[in-house]
Chain A
Amino acid sequence: TQLLEQSPQFLSIQEGENLTVYCNSSSVFSSLQWYRQEPGEGPVLLVTVVTGGEVKKLKRLTFQFGDARKDSSLHITAAQPGDTGLYLCAGPEGTSGSRLTFGEGTQLTVNP
Chain B
Amino acid sequence: DAGVTQSPTHLIKTRGQQVTLRCSPKSGHDTVSWYQQALGQGPQFIFQYYEEEERQRGNFPDRFSGHQFPNYSSELNVNALLLGDSALYLCASSSTVQLSGLFYGYTFGSGTRLTVV
Interface size on B, residues (CB 8 A): 29
CA distance A4 to B30 in the complex (A): 27
Given contacts A31-B102, A94-B56, A98-B103, contact A44 B108 (CB under 8 A): yes
- B33/A43 in contact, CB under 8 A: no
CA distance A61 to B41 in the complex (A): 23
Main secondary structure of the interface of B (DSSP, over half): loop
- B55/A96 in contact, CB under 8 A: yes
- B43/A102 in contact, CB under 8 A: yes
Most A C-beta atoms less than 10 A away, residue of B58, B103, B111 = B103
Residues of B within 8 A of A103 (CB): 42
- B43/A30 in contact, CB under 8 A: no
CA distance A43 to B93 in the complex (A): 12
CA distance A14 to B42 in the complex (A): 25
Binding site for B on A (CB under 8 A): 30-31, 33, 35, 40-45, 48, 50, 88, 90, 92, 94, 96-105
